[in-house]
Amino acid sequence: MKLYHSTRSPYVRKAMIAIHEAGLAHEVLLETMRVSPSRDNPALFAVNPLGKLPTLVLDDGTAIFDSTVIVHYLDVVRGDGHLHPDDPDARFQAMRDHAIGEGLMGLVVDWYSEKFRDPAADTNERFRLYDLRVRLTLDELETQASRLADTRFNIAHIAIACALGYLDFRFDDLDWRAGRPALAELGDHLNARPSVAATKPYDDI
Ligand SMILES: N[C@@H](CCC(=O)N[C@@H](CS)C(=O)NCC(=O)O)C(=O)O
């Protein structure tokens, strides 16, 4: 396995701790790199269209992200599952506690990068890379869309419906349906579901 890695990232560290917990350190090759919203990174984008660390690539080429999914893979699929309690109440409590740790990590990582960002310097490049990563991610979803359409509605459909709905709401000009017929069909299918239709975003206040 190969882990796209940085010694600076707390998200990567989550994956590293899970690697050690599962006793799999000897199986993992580290590919260390720097990432930022203004840094083009074709090698990383090729395996993870979101362009984020950590990304774990299995020997058969399967790419796994984000850190929470990597920890799940290492612990539940490859390890003994001790990081994910079986008991529903204990598991739910662990998820709640994980959310606060993860949320704190997100706040401090965002705060740190805001502190040192030159607001004028790289806006165009950052915008170009956001556009690129969104399009690469939509292209990846296009390849998964018919499988997702054939899968019973689950938490993944909720996230994808919300992301596509936000694109319709805020990024009309991106025209995400163009050239992505399967994803467009999936989007229509999801939007027709009552829970999705009832929660369409709109400007209120
Ligand atoms: N939700 C992701 C967040 C990962 C993340 O934001 N990683 C940072 C490194 S600390 C990154 O890749 N930033 C690059 C970018 O957002 O452009 C996870 O849990 O893996």
Domains and CATH numbers, the chain: 2-77 (3.40.30.10), 88-193 (1.20.1050.10)
Q: Is the pLDDT of residue 120 over 80?
A: no
Between the alpha carbon of residue 151 and those of residues 4, 69, 91, 144, the distances in Å are: 30, 19, 25, 11
Q: Is the pLDDT of residue 121 over 80?
A: no
Ligand 1 centroid to Cα of residue 100, in Å, is: 17
Q: For 24-37, write each residue's pLDDT tens digit.
A: 999 999 999 999 88
Binding site membership of 5 for ligand 1 (Cβ less than 6 Å) = no
Q: For 73-89, write each residue's pLDDT tens digit.
A: 999 999 999 999 999 99
What is the torsion angle, in degrees rounded to the nearest 10, for the CA atoms of residue 47, residue 153, residue 159 and residue 173? 90
Binding site membership of 176 for ligand 1 (Cβ less than 6 Å) = no
Read off the pLDDT of each residue in 48-70 and give the average, rounded to a whole number.
98
Q: Which atom of ligand 1 is nearest to the CA of 15?
A: 20
Q: For 146-170, write each residue's pLDDT tens digit.
A: 999 999 999 999 999 999 999 999 9
Q: Whose Cα sits closest to atom 6 in ligand 1?
A: 52
Ligand 1 centroid to Cα of residue 70, in Å, is: 13
Binding site membership of 4 for ligand 1 (Cβ less than 6 Å) = no
Tell me the pairing of strands 29-32 and 2-5: parallel
User: Is the distance from CB of 42 to CB of 89 less than 8 angstroms?
Assistant: no
